[in-house]
Structure 1
Amino acid sequence: MRISIFVTALLMSSLAGTAAASDTTAEQIYSAADKFLTAFAREQAPDGFSVVYDSGKLDARLSLATCENPLDVSFSGDPWKTTQPSLLVSCEGSRPWRMFLPVSITITGDAIVAARPLSRGERLTESALSTDSVVVNSIRRGAVTREDQLVGMEMRRGVNAGTVFTPDLLLTPAAIERGDHVIISARSGNFSVNSRGKALASGGIGEQVLVENLSSSRTIRARVTAPGHVEIPM
């Protein structure tokens, strides 16, 4: 395979004036990038994802300072959220350099989609979910690929059947609703004291809500720890 790319090289100042002595070639950079992308594709295969990247040839005139160590290649953009990520190719040593290589890559696999039209505020169950093969990294907000990340969540807005689920479509459901009676735990280390209270606002696990202590009639701010339970530091 060969990578068809526009190459923009960012050379460190220590390389100025050394072009004549440079001998890291385009072919070496191509080989390192190809090895990296092939390994990335193999890593995704066991999870059911197929990776294809565009082929082509680097400018054969490209020549950079000799690299004493194997070239290091990594993604500088998230390949799961764009079909045009960049590869950062770098050299460490006495004459270091780095360059960015934009590539075209597609990751195809199953994502979770709406099995039917869904309404705003609807709580998701398994029957509301289906799967479909999509180009996962063409969905910029990130496609959800596991059902267990969706069951029990609420829809932030309504969607049509077949819509790919992305994190921005979802809301964590409130563990406590305004007006609910709750258990207030005042905790210090392993010691805690419980009292009864009433939630003055709705909130999800980990969020802070105002709660009225029914014994003292005081209003306090507490953290939601579970449905019907809040906690305050002692």
Structure 2
Amino acid sequence: MRTQLLVWTILVAAVASPAQAKTTADEIREATTAFLETFATAQASRGYNVTFETGNIDSRLALAPCSADLAIEFTGDPWKSEHPSVQIACAGERPWRMFVTTTVSINGPALVAARPFGRGERVTANMLETRSVVVNASRRGIITDSQMVEGMIVRRPVNAGSVLTPDLLDAPNAVSRGDHVIITARRGAFSVRSRGKALANASVGEQVLIENLGSSRTVKANVTAPGHVEVPM
């Protein structure tokens, strides 16, 4: 799943008066909570349930009053950590910034192993289940679409109930060492085909050495589909 840092601006309802001498711990806590609530609401619209806690803030905190709106953002990716920090910054006449620790739990659907997987197995639909998990408990990411993993090869043993992550699976070989393949030499719209033999294993998108059976030359080609490779002309 591709994740971008979420940046939110929390508007402070009360404008600092001339008599106000500081930004208090309570104000920082309220702003952080409002930021996390906004994040949770946004993820709920996508089918995720977010719970959170704000870390301790020293009650003796006394920052300069802020003449601008407080800007708040995660300093790390909350989708890959259960303890992302939040930065709160003031860009007013007396600028400052501080960090607040948080605990964020994002619960949502993910694919898990319905039974133990053995190394080298090819994944099929009946090997998969969808369960609600803590999505951001894994720094390696999760997989939600079964079509993305069906046909993939298990890289190492997986226990039943384990959350599937991209590093557990490999794309199957589109060509294997010794396979006869079709070589397409292409320049723009013009192309020429010939036959070759793969000298190594490779998946779609990878490069592989191919022996051209007509010329006996060895070329480096890109695998475009099972049994098909392409070289620039």
- Tell me the TM-score normalized by structure 1: 0.83
Determine the structure 1 residue equivalent to 2:104. Answer: 105
User: Secondary structure at 2:37's aligned position in 1?
Assistant: helix
Aligned positions, number: 214
Determine the structure 1 residue equivalent to 2:85. Answer: 86
Identity percentage over the alignment? 56
Task: Give the superposition deviation at 1:120.
Answer: 0.9
Letter in 1 for 2:67: E
Task: Determine the C-alpha separation between the residues in 1 that align with 2:21 and 2:229.
Answer: 65
Task: Please say if residues 29 and 71 of structure 1, whose CA atoms lie closer than 8 Å, have aligned partners that are also in contact.
Answer: no
Task: Give the superposition deviation at 1:149.
Answer: 2.7
Letter in 1 for 2:205: G
Determine the structure 2 residue equivalent to 1:38. Answer: 37
Task: Determine the C-alpha separation between the residues in 1 that align with 2:101 and 2:127.
Answer: 38
Task: Determine the C-alpha separation between the residues in 2 that align with 1:51 and 1:215.
Answer: 61
Task: Give the superposition deviation at 1:51.
Answer: 0.7
Task: Give the superposition deviation at 1:57.
Answer: 5.8
Determine the structure 1 residue equivalent to 2:211. Answer: 212
Task: Determine the C-alpha separation between the residues in 2 that align with 1:200 and 1:224.
Answer: 13
Question: Per the alignment, do residues 56 and 102 of structure 1 end up closer, same or farther by CA in structure 2, a change over 3 Å counting?
Answer: closer
Note if 1:232 corresponds to 2:231: yes
Note if 1:173 corresponds to 2:162: no
Task: Please say if residues 55 and 102 of structure 2, whose CA atoms lie closer than 8 Å, have aligned partners that are also in contact.
Answer: no
Task: Determine the C-alpha separation between the residues in 2 that align with 1:22 and 1:174.
Answer: 67
List gaps (5 residues or longer) in structure 1.
1-20
Determine the structure 2 residue equivalent to 1:123. Answer: 122
Task: Determine the C-alpha separation between the residues in 1 that align with 2:73 and 2:31.
Answer: 10
Task: Determine the C-alpha separation between the residues in 2 that align with 1:148 and 1:40.
Answer: 29
Task: Give the superposition deviation at 1:129.
Answer: 0.4
User: Secondary structure at 1:54's aligned position in 2?
Assistant: strand
List gaps (5 residues or longer) in structure 2.
1-19
Task: Determine the C-alpha separation between the residues in 2 that align with 1:203 and 1:85.
Answer: 39
Task: Give the superposition deviation at 1:210.
Answer: 0.3
Letter in 1 for 2:35: F
CA RMSD of aligned residues (A): 2.0
Determine the structure 2 residue equivalent to 1:62. Answer: 61
User: Secondary structure at 2:192's aligned position in 1?
Assistant: strand
Deviations 1:200-223, CA, capped at 9 Å, x for gaps: 111111111000011101011111
- Tell me the TM-score normalized by structure 2: 0.84
Letter in 2 for 1:43: A
Task: Determine the C-alpha separation between the residues in 1 that align with 2:125 and 2:45.
Answer: 24
Task: Give the superposition deviation at 1:91.
Answer: 2.3
Question: Per the alignment, do residues 122 and 60 of structure 1 end up closer, same or farther by CA in structure 2, a change over 3 Å counting?
Answer: same
Question: Per the alignment, do residues 210 and 132 of structure 1 end up closer, same or farther by CA in structure 2, a change over 3 Å counting?
Answer: same
Task: Give the superposition deviation at 1:126.
Answer: 1.3
Task: Give the superposition deviation at 1:94.
Answer: 4.2
Task: Determine the C-alpha separation between the residues in 1 that align with 2:108 and 2:223.
Answer: 37
Question: Per the alignment, do residues 89 and 121 of structure 1 end up closer, same or farther by CA in structure 2, a change over 3 Å counting?
Answer: same
Question: Per the alignment, do residues 42 and 213 of structure 1 end up closer, same or farther by CA in structure 2, a change over 3 Å counting?
Answer: same
User: Secondary structure at 1:179's aligned position in 2?
Assistant: coil
Task: Please say if residues 53 and 106 of structure 1, whose CA atoms lie closer than 8 Å, have aligned partners that are also in contact.
Answer: yes
Determine the structure 2 residue equivalent to 1:29. Answer: 28
Question: Per the alignment, do residues 120 and 58 of structure 1 end up closer, same or farther by CA in structure 2, a change over 3 Å counting?
Answer: same
Task: Determine the C-alpha separation between the residues in 2 that align with 1:167 and 1:90.
Answer: 36
Task: Please say if residues 55 and 103 of structure 2, whose CA atoms lie closer than 8 Å, have aligned partners that are also in contact.
Answer: no
